[in-house]
């Protein structure tokens, strides 16, 4: 492949073999991998987040994996700032950045730019989230579109995170989040991006999730959670929301059996994958969809899409 300034974006649901595919691409095109998974940034949690292992890290150059402590606050804005610098660094060395992960918001801010939103006062944030918790997403969304009618066209009714965000912004600033979005500019021209989404069939993905969860427990997930709770982590920080932490803590406290814990983690991981598919339908319509059960065939299909 002729070298030029491009950025390969490789997204897909959890357990869709993104990391494996990214390594094959990196070797083929003289590229380096940049993490776009909001939970794989943490040092102390590797098993539950399925971070690339030592063999993977030696196979291709990886960036932004396990580089920050769970005790530190981390945000989409921080990720974007670091990633923009890393892209320029890779380009300066003649390398192609391959951004890989399952956090849709990371890809969105990279493509479209980060919306400049004033800090939301804690009292408003708390009030909005308590309201959402008490009435549920369906009723909350109806209240949101009355407060901010632009939300109806821009947010999926099931999108809890963006619904809450839009409500907070409108309540705090009296401006629609989507008017602020229109003022936002990308750091890149659109043709820089080669956008690939691994569209794994649901049934197969469910099986792969089951296998992954079994592997996590075989590799020491319980011990990892024991060590996590020895660290004093702010309960509001994102790391505490990693799937498996609460579930394994309940097992350690005798509230659940091992099998119940595994089943619950599988269930929650499937629900997370479903949300990733929902995001892709709403925000990744221009992305090229690829799939094959054979990794070599998947690699060939991907290379054809980005060539």
Tens of pLDDT, residues 263-273: 999 999 999 99
pTM reported for the whole predicted model: 0.86
Tens of pLDDT, residues 42-85: 999 999 999 999 999 999 999 999 999 999 989 999 999 999 99
Residue 100 token pair: 């890989």
CA gap 266, 274 in Å, rounded: 12
Tens of pLDDT, residues 75-111: 999 999 999 999 999 999 999 999 999 999 999 999 9
Domain boundaries along the sequence of the chain: 7-113+186-306, 122-182
Q: Which of 276, 279, 288 is nearest to 197 (CA)?
A: 288
Listed in sequence order, the DSSP H helices in the chain are 18-29, 54-59, 76-92, 104-112, 122-147, 151-154, 160-173, 177-182, 202-218, 221-228, 245-252, 258-283, 295-306
User: pLDDT class for 118, splitting at 50, 70, 90?
Assistant: confident
pLDDT at residue 2 in the model = 45
- Rg of the chain on CA atoms, in Å: 20
Please tell us whether the domain made up of 122-182 is placed in CATH 2.40.160.20. Answer: no
CA gap 163, 166 in Å, rounded: 5
Is the per-residue pLDDT at 208 higher than 80?
yes
> Which of 3.40.50.720, 3.90.1150.10, 3.30.450.40, 3.40.50.300 is the CATH number of 7-113+186-306?
3.40.50.300
In which order are the strands placed within the sheet that holds 96-101? 62-63, 31-35, 96-101, 7-11, 193-198, 288-290
pLDDT at residue 116 in the model = 83
Would you give the distance in Å from CA 147 to the centre of its chain?
28
Is the per-residue pLDDT at 1 higher than 80?
no
């Amino acid at each position: 492949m002729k070298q030029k300034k491009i950025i390969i974006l490789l997204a897909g649901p959890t357990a869709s073999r993104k990391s494996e595919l990214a390594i094959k691409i990196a070797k083929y095109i003289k590229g380096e991998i940049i993490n776009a998974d909001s939970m794989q940034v943490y040092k102390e949690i590797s098993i539950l987040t399925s971070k690339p292992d030592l063999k993977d890290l030696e196979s291709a150059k990886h960036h932004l994996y396990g580089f920050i402590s769970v005790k530190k606050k981390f945000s989409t804005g921080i990720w974007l700032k670091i990633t923009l610098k890393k892209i320029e660094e890779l380009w300066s060395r003649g390398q192609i950045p391959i951004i890989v992960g399952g956090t849709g918001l990371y890809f969105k801010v990279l493509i479209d730019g980060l919306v400049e939103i004033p800090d939301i006062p804690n009292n408003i944030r708390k009030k909005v989230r308590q309201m959402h918790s008490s009435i549920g997403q369906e009723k909350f969304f109806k209240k949101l579109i009355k407060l901010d009618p632009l939300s109806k066209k821009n947010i999926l009714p099931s999108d809890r995170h963006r619904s809450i965000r839009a409500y907070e912004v409108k309540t705090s600033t009296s401006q629609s989040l989507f008017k602020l979005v229109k003022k936002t500019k990308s750091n890149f021209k659109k043709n820089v991006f080669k956008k690939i989404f691994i569209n794994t069939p649901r049934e197969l993905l469910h099986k792969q999730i089951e296998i992954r969860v079994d592997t996590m427990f075989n590799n020491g997930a319980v011990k990892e959670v024991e060590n996590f709770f020895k660290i004093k982590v702010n309960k509001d920080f994102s790391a505490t929301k990693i799937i498996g932490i609460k579930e394994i803590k309940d097992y350690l406290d005798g509230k659940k059996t091992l099998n119940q814990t595994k089943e619950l983690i599988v269930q929650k991981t499937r629900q997370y994958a479903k949300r990733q598919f929902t995001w892709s339908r709403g925000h990744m319509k221009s992305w090229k969809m690829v799939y094959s059960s054979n990794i070599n065939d998947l690699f060939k299909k991907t290379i054809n899409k980005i060539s």
